[in-house]
Structure 1
Amino acid sequence: MLLIALLQAVWGTDLVAQSTLDIKDRAQLFVDKVLVRETERVWFTQHQGKKHPANPVLKPTRPWEGWLTYVYGDVIYDREEQIFKMWYLAGNKTDYFDHNTLTCYATSQDGIHWDKPEVGTIKSKNDKPHNAVGTFKLPSIHKDVDETDPARRYKMICFSWYADATASTKSPSYRTMVSPDGLQWTRESKKPIAPSADVITGFWDPRRQIYVAFPKIGRLWRGHGRRLFSTITSQDFINWTEPISSWETDLRDDVGSLARIERVRPVLDRPDDEKLMHTDFYGIGVYLAESCTIGFPWMFTVNNKDRFGTNQDGPQEVQLAVSRDLVHWERPFPHAGNRDRRGFGRVGLQLSDHRRQSDSCG
């Protein structure tokens, strides 16, 4: 009964039966000890993911991509077309575009070898073909096979610095967009869906039948201006709830800041400033399991301002978190970090038909 009372206090009565935790017919992922009353000579161990030997699978090979490409975007497997689809970020001013941020489109039969079809839908300066479909970034994309309106078949949650691809004046906002084919995108939200910073992750939750997003919303927390995340939801992709703060760093994060910095000391650009040193959430990846939601928070440890004095510098690492209500998150394993800094991408896992779980930096 003590366990039940604790679960009710943490996750709410709707998630816990009066006498037992009703798991129904859902497979249970033992990523934490919520379902375990007692163990003997059994250890919960976190295993590190392994990078595929073909990495990097995406490189800047086209003139409009500039010098950088990375999956600050999304990948889904389209079961109707039996193909992987990727929306990735490229950015630098080129002969094609003046924008520093472009979302481009790629396809693959196996998720390893990628093609970049020249199906771009925004106008280039030189009128040459390309594969850019927007100037937004961090798109989280869901192909809604149940949508009755063909123009809204694809749904996107994203951040953009500009009102549209033709704008030159910044108007940053978190927004929703829709598309008939994943290439031609139209803004759907008339106003920002949450107070804006610059990082957001979203997904469709088939178990709860709602759209979910985690927007970064900065505020003062534990003595520093922090990068923190909230939870917002929508039943129709149009009307969104008010943000509920759900990802807040704790004392363990700040106490561990120096240890995380020391592990990557040789590659840091600036010496430490102890007054600035702290740890934030920078972004979040999500995987929806049957029994819980798995999060991959990107932990950004600040050691100083960057060399230009306009932002902050320091290492990032990806941790593992778990939630059963999308608001309260636990990180069940201590994190020693990883010295391997090669490559940059977002962690994401396919859930089922046309759905993926959003991504994170690693």
Structure 2
Amino acid sequence: MAYNIGNRKQVFVDWQLIEPGYGVRWGGERPTSWEMPHGLRLAVQPPRIDPQPLVQPDRPWESFINVYCTLFEDEGRYRLYYECHYLGEGDEPSDLRAMLAYAESTDGVNWVKPRVGTVSFQGSTDNNLVYALDVSLGRGAHGATVFKDPSAPPEQRYKLVHMGAVGGTGYVYGAVSPDGLRWTALKQPLISNYFSDTQTVVGFDPQKGRYVGYFRGWRGMEEANWWGRRSIAYAESERFESWPRPRILVTPDVHDNPDTDIYTNSYTPWPGTEGAHLLFPAFYQRALDVTEVHLMTSRDGLRWERPSRQPVIPAGGPGSGWEGGVYAGCGLVSIRPGEWSLPIGPKKHSHNQGLFAEGRSVPDRGYLCLATWREDGFIALEAPTEGQCTTAPLTFSGRELHLNLWTRFGGEVKVELADEACQTIPGHSFEDCDPISGDYLDHTVSWRGNTDLSAWVGKPLRLRLYLRRARLYAMQFV
């Protein structure tokens, strides 16, 4: 039995591909260990924060910009959809008056808010609003997420979802568009009597051939008649226009403090590979009234791991402008080669601070910026000092093994090939492997200068990985 990984990139969302070994092996004349992994950990990697705003409030309809946003690349341009709010004199903030605005860029650095001309704000369509007010049938656009649907006819190529409420009853609404600018609201809700008051993330999964959605769940509402704690819920549908009631998928667990909510989900497939998924949920600590972004990983989008209990993007310190917390939006894009960026929304105000006039005495008008990782750099197989492991049996296609890795000064990575029974393949031992040191997004492994592995295509093979002061982010047969 072997995992058939073909030529798909393998990333370290969990330990599944690593042989667990035995501290005391089966049989033998004396107790010995067998293929025990040691000196290694799965280490979540923090991003570089690019504080330059993508957008900030500078239009009359942008009294403040909320943290919910969607960013993706589309036919040579970057498209950013973001939630904004207008507050007239004496107005109190209301989620149900949210508006969806639009900006675009050719380089991901310089952003333009174009005149879209579809939504009437105070009698004029000279604005960058795309979904609000009359266009959204008065339902607002709170928590909206936009996605491009490859399965839809051209007139419905772009879709969005958002929350709304009528008479205190929550709904999830949808809209369709041929170009992402001119939207038609669907008259009937996607889900009735459901309160997903967060950024709901929906997309079309080509492998499943259906739509998948990540919603807010309220644990108490599922089990008793009270709200309880905010969680992540999930549903699938063959039709965008109609969804079953989402079911709780991810909740705070027994290792979290009892005041913990999972406020958003920020779901995205791991770019460039199959069988890897990411969440960047904002965890809300009610006692502190602060949110921080964590990282969760999955192979199927259903069973999720949280490899670190610490936030991957923490709140800032006093005076930072981030002291109220931070949220992740939706979408990973490559703006610079070898990097992936995620939109984030820092907050000066804590979650409930804006409910009080004295809390709003120092304004927090909001803005969006980027958190950036190296390609595949969200989590790494890491040896702080020295470590080694063996993979499960694998079958592959391709001629070479490529690695994405980084080593400290004096560190190295080496690979040994073994058969299914863990017998080292002659000419491909650690002693034969040419050591790899440095920083590489795509490095070809060689053994005394030889990179050709075509003789083992389709045959069960194990990789022994040796790391010294190193991180391995991804591996792929090419």
Go from structure 1 to structure 2 and tell me whether the alpha carbon gap of 1:282 and 1:189 turns closer, same or farther (over 3 Å shift): farther
Residue by residue over 1:57-101, the C-alpha shift from the partner in whole angstroms, topping out at 9 and shown as x without a partner, is 2111111111x124512112111xx11111111112249x99741
Go from structure 1 to structure 2 and tell me whether the alpha carbon gap of 1:86 and 1:351 turns closer, same or farther (over 3 Å shift): closer
Q: CA deviation at 1:22?
A: 4.1
Q: CA deviation at 1:246?
A: 0.3
Match of 1:140 in 2: 145
Question: Which structure has greater helix proportion?
Answer: 1
Go from structure 1 to structure 2 and tell me whether the alpha carbon gap of 1:204 and 1:130 turns closer, same or farther (over 3 Å shift): same
Which ranges in structure 2 are unaligned for 5 or more consecutive residues? 21-36, 133-139, 335-339, 347-478
Largest Rg, 1 or 2? 2
RMSD of the alignment, in Å?
A: 3.2
Match of 2:463 in 1: none
Match of 2:197 in 1: 198
Q: Equivalent residue of 2:281, what SS? A: strand
- Match status 1:241 vs 2:244: yes
Match of 1:69 in 2: 65
Residue 280 (structure 2) aligned to one of 282, 296, 304: 296
Residue by residue over 1:4-62, the C-alpha shift from the partner in whole angstroms, topping out at 9 and shown as x without a partner, is xxxxxxxxxxxxxxx44443442111132122124233332211011115x22211111
Q: CA deviation at 1:325?
A: 2.9
- Which residue identity is paired with 1:136? A
Go from structure 1 to structure 2 and tell me whether the alpha carbon gap of 1:302 and 1:71 turns closer, same or farther (over 3 Å shift): closer
Identity %: 26
Match of 1:86 in 2: 80
Residue 112 (structure 1) aligned to one of 103, 109, 131: 109
Q: Is the 8 A contact 2:280 2:328 kept in 1?
A: no
Query: TM-score, normalized by length of structure 2?
Result: 0.56
Go from structure 1 to structure 2 and tell me whether the alpha carbon gap of 1:185 and 1:349 turns closer, same or farther (over 3 Å shift): closer
Written as runs of structure 1 = structure 2, the 5 A alignment for 1:204-283 is 204-220=204-220, 225-254=228-257, 278-283=259-264
Q: CA deviation at 1:321?
A: 0.8
Q: CA deviation at 1:339?
A: 4.3
- Which residue identity is paired with 2:86? N
Q: Is the 8 A contact 1:283 1:361 kept in 2?
A: no
Question: Which structure has greater strand proportion?
Answer: 2
Go from structure 1 to structure 2 and tell me whether the alpha carbon gap of 1:360 and 1:138 turns closer, same or farther (over 3 Å shift): farther
- Match status 1:59 vs 2:56: yes
- In 2, Cα distance between the equivalents of 1:50 and 1:210? 34
- Which residue identity is paired with 1:187? A
Residue 300 (structure 2) aligned to one of 314, 325, 338: 325
- In 1, Cα distance between the equivalents of 2:10 and 2:344? 24
Go from structure 1 to structure 2 and tell me whether the alpha carbon gap of 1:351 and 1:83 turns closer, same or farther (over 3 Å shift): closer
Q: CA deviation at 1:140?
A: 1.9
Residue by residue over 1:228-287, the C-alpha shift from the partner in whole angstroms, topping out at 9 and shown as x without a partner, is 221111223123234221011111112xxxxxxxxxxxxxxxxxxxxxx61011001122
- Structure 1's consecutive aligned runs of 4 or more residues displaced over 6 angstroms after TM superposition are 221-224, 356-360
Q: CA deviation at 1:177?
A: 1.1
Q: CA deviation at 1:295?
A: 1.0
- Which residue identity is paired with 2:284? F
Q: Equivalent residue of 1:151, what SS? A: helix
- In 1, Cα distance between the equivalents of 2:262 and 2:67? 19
Q: Is the 8 A contact 2:13 2:298 kept in 1?
A: no
Q: CA deviation at 1:300?
A: 0.6
Go from structure 1 to structure 2 and tell me whether the alpha carbon gap of 1:336 and 1:295 turns closer, same or farther (over 3 Å shift): closer
Match of 2:177 in 1: 179
Q: CA deviation at 1:181?
A: 1.9
- Which residue identity is paired with 1:295? L
- In 2, Cα distance between the equivalents of 1:202 and 1:101? 19
- In 1, Cα distance between the equivalents of 2:141 and 2:298? 29
Written as runs of structure 1 = structure 2, the 5 A alignment for 1:114-133 is 114-127=111-124, 129-133=126-130
Query: TM-score, normalized by length of structure 1?
Result: 0.72
- Which residue identity is paired with 1:297? P
- Which residue identity is paired with 2:262? F
Residue by residue over 1:321-354, the C-alpha shift from the partner in whole angstroms, topping out at 9 and shown as x without a partner, is 11223222111223156342645553444479xx
- Which residue identity is paired with 1:26? R
Q: Is the 8 A contact 2:214 2:267 kept in 1?
A: no
Q: Is the 8 A contact 2:232 2:262 kept in 1?
A: yes
Match of 2:395 in 1: none
Go from structure 1 to structure 2 and tell me whether the alpha carbon gap of 1:83 and 1:171 turns closer, same or farther (over 3 Å shift): farther
- In 2, Cα distance between the equivalents of 1:295 and 1:48? 14
Match of 1:188 in 2: 186
Which ranges in structure 1 are unaligned for 5 or more consecutive residues? 1-18, 163-168, 255-276, 304-312
Q: Is the 8 A contact 1:297 1:320 kept in 2?
A: yes
Where relative contact order (Cα < 8 A, 6+ residues apart) is larger, the structure is 2
- In 1, Cα distance between the equivalents of 2:327 and 2:311? 20
- In 1, Cα distance between the equivalents of 2:341 and 2:173? 18
| Corresponding residue pairs, total | 298
